[in-house]
Chain A
Amino acid sequence: GEDVEQSLFLSVREGDSSVINCTYTDSSSTYLYWYKQEPGAGLQLLTYIFSNMDMKQDQRLTVLLNKKDKHLSLRIADTQTGDSAIYFCAGSSGGSYIPTFGRGTSLIVHP
């Protein structure tokens, strides 16, 4: 099955860009996702990318997918304090639409 790894912590200054990285193991992953979890809340889908795409941009968010290296990244431009949260990378492999989640990267934005 799919295995998803991501670094646990990232600290950035307000206004800088944040880049959260993720690696996955299953080359047949169809969809790759980024979810955001704010304190005391459930997971909110931020964005997703199909495996046949290299990049997807949505306002301040840019997702880059390197299929050769099985590497996914999420870039948040002009990071704000409201972006402080845990960001989960997830991938669905083979014929299953049930994604496997990474452990989450805790993003801390300081003034």
Chain B
Amino acid sequence: SAVISQKPSRDICQRGTSLTIQCQVDSQVTMMFWYRQQPGQSLTLIATANQGSEATYESGFVIDKFPISRPNLTFSTLTVSNMSPEDSSIYLCSVEETISGANVLTFGAGSRLTVL
């Protein structure tokens, strides 16, 4: 399966600042997904990042707050803008793969952000 590297693995940020998370995949993939995992909560899909087009955002998430880049088929970034303590979460990058005929998601290790 694909190997996904995320940077940073964790960070502590000040309120009002922005942070960009990088996601690198070891193979070319069509779609990359960004998820948020708030403490004690499930995973929530933020957006789908397609190469060569604007990201598709889920309800409740907007481009101004979570701008996404997808410059090529192996790389994507997610920026968390103007952060507040409510943005403290784990942010996960994932890609879709077909394994033994099933469509599955493979995840990076996540980026744990704490906003003070």
Question: Measuring CB to CB, which residues of chain A are less than 8 angstroms from any residue of chain B?
Answer: 4, 31, 33, 35, 40-45, 48, 50, 88, 92, 97-99, 101-104
Residue of chain B at shortest CB distance from A92: B103
> What distance in Å separates the Cβ of A111 from its nearest Cβ neighbour in chain B?
26
B residues engaging A (CB < 8 A)?
1, 4, 6, 33, 40-43, 45, 48, 92, 94, 96, 99, 102-110, 112
Which B residues lie within 8 Å of A103 (CB)? 40-42
Give the secondary structure class of B's interface: strand
Q: Which residue of A lies closest to B90 (CB)?
A: A42
Among B45, B102, B112, the residue within 8 A (CB) of A98 is: B45
Which partner residue on chain A sits nearest B107 by CB separation?
A: A42
Are B43 and A101 in contact (CB-based, < 8 A)?
A: yes
Q: How far is the CB of A38 from chain B (nearest CB, A)?
A: 10
